Every structure is written in structure tokens, then in C-alpha cells.
Amino acid sequence: MQIDNLSYGSDQSGLICGYVFAHNQAGRAVHTKEALEYLQQSENREANGTASFLWLHFNLSSVSAEKWLHEHVDLPEEFYETLHEGSRSTRIEHADQCLIAVVNDVLHDFTFEASDIATLWLSVSSKLMISARRTPLQSVDRLRNAVNRGEAFRSSTELLAHLLRDQADVLIGIVRKAIKKVDDIEDHLLADRLNLKRANLGELRRLLVRLQRLLAPEPAALFRLLHSPPRWVAENDVQELRQSTEEFAVVLPHTDAKGADVIAEHIRSSIEHLPRVAGDERPITVSIGLSTWDKRSRLSLEALLLSADQALYEAKHSGRNRIVEAQTPSL
């Protein structure tokens, strides 16, 4: 990943960086003093109908960061509670008309060690997004790069959705590296260098399971949020969050196309018959794209995933609640 001259240090308040966003305009960098003035004048801007929001990103390794937040920002108590709880999976919850997010991420020099996984905490309201971490992380720095390159954001929720997509891209990159490591281990196994490589394979498997548990959003919390979001979250932003968090890929080893179709249909039918949420009569459905690889295939992993993604896109845009199998060439 390319990092565009980002600063990882923080000032005396613990602030790493801050940006003010006017509606659909690129973010303007601000320092602590300007951020404090913005926070103090927020009521006047609301009275004048000014559409803007602020993102402040903090370094919790600085002892001043949490103290500054307590003194100058009115955040839900749930945000501070999440800072001090143990390891939890990625989740987004609704508290006091704010979104509280715990987003697990990985270090820049990720080396497939469990210690390379760390957490980003966020509180998101209509006018303010606070993010905080203890060590530099890949996904949030991707978001900083996007802002520094001039990408426009219409709302704080869209900023959060972009971060979740960045996290997904980071995870895809890790999976690709993991597949390469597995291929290398299999080569050694074929060369009869068994014991050490079996241990390596077991370590890699355990790490990937941990990554899946930590990085995948908790479905129950996400389901509650998407069906009962805060009042200030616009419908198009709810859709942004839904698209950023509800797509995932599943690998079915030793399963042919017919078997995958049976499993997909079971999933589709089970979700279709889930009970409706109280007060919301909209149906709950799933769209599925299938792509198959076998020993005759010459597709790369990237091409296989793209094929499945295109099939998913077709399933969504041809009516949803259906399964589409990609026309994957064998050669």
C-alpha cells in the first residue's frame, strides 16, 4: 500500500490529524486550536443551517488524548467503555444518537503474527467523527490518504463506510498473501520436509481464524443498526453502510458447482424465511454469486473472486433474492 507522506505522531493533545468537510467538498486539514474553535461554534453553525462535519483522529498512546476528549467533546460513555474492554470483534452499535464502532485492523508491517492485529475505536455523529488508535494501522491510513488526495465526502457516515471498505481491501490483501504462503508450504510438504511446515500451516490456519473472528463485523449488532439507525443518518448513507459491510466471500473446498448451488439455495431459502423485524415489514433476502475453480482451471484467485463478484452484481440487479452462477472459463 502506498502511504502519501502521512504523519504518525501527535501534538500535545494527542491529535494526529483533523479535517473539516463542507458538503461534498474535499476535507480541509485543521490543527487542535481550529478543531476546538469548530467544536465551540457547532451550535451556531446548526442554527445557520451550515452543512459541515469534523473528523479528528487521535493517538491513544499519548496520555493527553483521552483527557482532551473528556474535556472538550461530548461523547457517549459507551465510547470510553470500548477503549478499555478486552479483544472484541469488529462491530458498529447505536448509542445516544451516535454510532460507536470498534474496527479491528492490522499494522503496516503485518507479518502474520497475532500481535500485528490492533484496534481502531470510533464515535460518529452527524457533525463529528472521532477515531482513536494506539499504533499506526493500515485501513484508517488508507482513509487518510483518500482525504489528502481530495476525495469528497457528503457525510460522516459516508466516511465511516469508506473506512469499512478500506478494511475489507486490507483483509483481501492478507488473504492473497496467505494463499501464497500456503502454496510455499505445500511445495515443502511435497519435498518431504514435513514436520516444520505442518507446524507452520497450523499457525497460519489459527491466525486466519483469528483474523476472520476479529475483522468480520458482528452480524447481530450490524443487523440492529441497519434496521434502526439514528435519526440523522440519511437513507443513502444506510445503504452505503449496508453495501460496505454485508458482502462477504466463502470458500467451499472439495465442493463442485452443483454442491455449491445446493448450499447457496439453502442459505437463500433460510434467510428468506427469517421472521421480520418488529415494525419493519421489509423482507430480509440475500443475493449470491457463485464461481467455481477446479484442477482444469487456469484462473488466478483475483480472477475467481472478480467472477463471483460479477455474478453477485448480476443477482442484485436482476431482482435480488436469487443465485447467479458465473460463467467461469476452464482454460
For residue 167, the model assigns a pLDDT of 83
> Whole-angstrom Cα distance, residue 58 to residue 18?
9
Instruction: Tell me the pTM.
Output: 0.69
Using a 10 angstrom Cβ sphere, with 0-12 exposed, 13-18 middle and 19 or more buried, the burial of residue 251 is: exposed
Residue 130's H or E segment, with its range, is: strand 128-133
Q: Which residue ranges of the chain lie beneath pLDDT 50? A: 1-2, 330-331
Are 121 and 95 a contacting pair, CB within 8 Å?
no
For residue 118, the model assigns a pLDDT of 87
DSSP secondary structure letter of residue 279: T
For residue 141, the model assigns a pLDDT of 94
Q: How many residues belong to the chain?
A: 331
5-9 long-range contacts, Cβ below 8 Å, gap at least 24? 6/141, 6/144, 6/145, 6/148, 8/59, 8/136, 9/59
Q: Pairing relation of β-strands 117-124 and 128-133?
A: antiparallel
Rg (CA), the chain: 22
Amino acid letter, residue 185: I
Are 204 and 185 a contacting pair, CB within 8 Å?
yes
Residue-wise pLDDT tens digits, 215-264: 666 656 666 677 778 888 887 777 777 666 656 667 777 788 888 889 88
> Whole-angstrom Cα distance, residue 258 to residue 270?
18
- Show the CA angle centred on residue 326, arms to residues 322 and 331, nearest 5°: 165
Provide the 10 A C-beta neighbour count for residue 75.
18
> Whole-angstrom Cα distance, residue 264 to residue 308?
13
For residue 330, the model assigns a pLDDT of 46
- CB neighbour list of residue 188: distance below 8 Å, 6 or more residues apart: 196, 197
